[in-house]
Structure 1
Amino acid sequence: MAYECLSARGRRKKSGVNGRLYSELLKKICQDGEAPEEVVSSLLRKIQCRDHEAVPFDVFRYGVLSCFVLLEFVAKADTLYDVLDDGSGIADESVCQAVLDTLEEALGATDFSVPIRYLEAGSKLGPDCLALAMDKALLDRKICSSMNREEFLKRATALFIAKVKPID
Structure 2
Amino acid sequence: MAAYEKRRVAAGSGRAEQAGGALGSEAEFLLRAGVTAMVREALLKVLEARPEEPVSFLADYFERLVLGSPGAAGDAAAEPPGPPQRLARALWYVGLAHHSHRTAFDSNTGAAYEVLGGGGRRRAAGVDGRLYSELLRRICQRGEAPAEAAAALLRRVRCRDHEAVPFDVFRYGVLTCFVLLEFAAKADALFAVLDGGSGAADASVCQAVLRALEEALGSGHFTQPRRYLEAGSRLGPDGLALAMDRALQERKLSSSMSREEFLKKATALFVAKVKPVE
State the TM-score, normalized to the length of structure 1: 0.92
Is residue 108 of structure 2 the alignment partner of residue 4 of structure 1? no
How far the C-alpha of 1:119 sits from its partner, in A, is 1.3
Partners of 2:117 and 2:126 within 8 A in 1: yes
Q: 1:58 aligns with which of 156, 161, 168?
A: 168
Larger proportion of helix: 2
Cα pair 2:113 2:127 within 8 Å, conserved: yes
Larger RCO of the pair (alpha carbons < 8 Å, separation 6+): 1
Change in Cα spacing, 1:26 to 1:46, as seen in structure 2 (3 Å) is same
Give the drift of 1:6: 2.1
Cα shift at 1:86:
2.6
State yes or no: 1:163 paired with 2:268. Answer: no
Amino acid at match of 1:43: L
Tell me, which stretches of 5 or more residues in structure 2 are unaligned?
1-109
Larger radius of gyration: 2
- Report Cα offsets for 1:92-145 as digits up to 9, x if no partner: 111101110110001116751111110111221211110111111111112232
Task: State which of 22, 33, 36 in structure 1 corresponds to 2:143.
Answer: 33
Q: Which whole-Å CA distance do the structure 2 matches of 1:119 and 1:11 have between them?
A: 43
Are residues 1:119 and 2:233 paired?
A: no
Q: What is the alpha-carbon distance in structure 2 between the residues aligned to residue 27 and residue 49 of structure 1?
A: 13
1:142 counterpart SS class: coil
* Mapped partners of 2:135, 2:123: distance in 1: 21
Unaligned runs of 5+ in 1: none
- Decide whether the 8 Å contact of 2:130 with 2:162 is kept in 1: yes
Deviation at 1:15, TM superposition (A): 4.5
1:23 aligns with 2:171: no
| Contact kept in structure 1, 2:119 and 2:125, CA below 8 Å | no
In the alignment, is the contact (CA less than 8 A) between 1:26 and 1:64 conserved in 2? Answer: yes
Q: Secondary structure at the match of 1:91?
A: strand
Please state whether the residue corresponding to 2:130 is helix, strand or coil: helix
Closer/same/farther in 2, CA of residues 110 and 44 from structure 1, 3 Å limit: closer
In the TM superposition, structure 1's runs of 4+ consecutive aligned residues that sit over 4 Å from their partners are 11-15
**Amino acid of the structure 1 residue aligned with 2:114:** E
Matched with 1:43 is 153
Distance 2:211 2:268 in 1: 12
Is 1:74 the counterpart of 2:184? The answer is: yes
Q: Please state whether the residue corresponding to 2:257 is helix, strand or coil.
A: strand
Shift in alpha-carbon separation, 1:122–1:85, aligned structure 2, 3 A: same
Alpha-carbon distance in structure 2 between the residues aligned to 1:104 and 1:11: 50
Aligned: 1:136 with 2:253: no
Alpha carbon RMSD of aligned pairs, Å?
Answer: 1.7
TM-score (ref. length: structure 2): 0.57
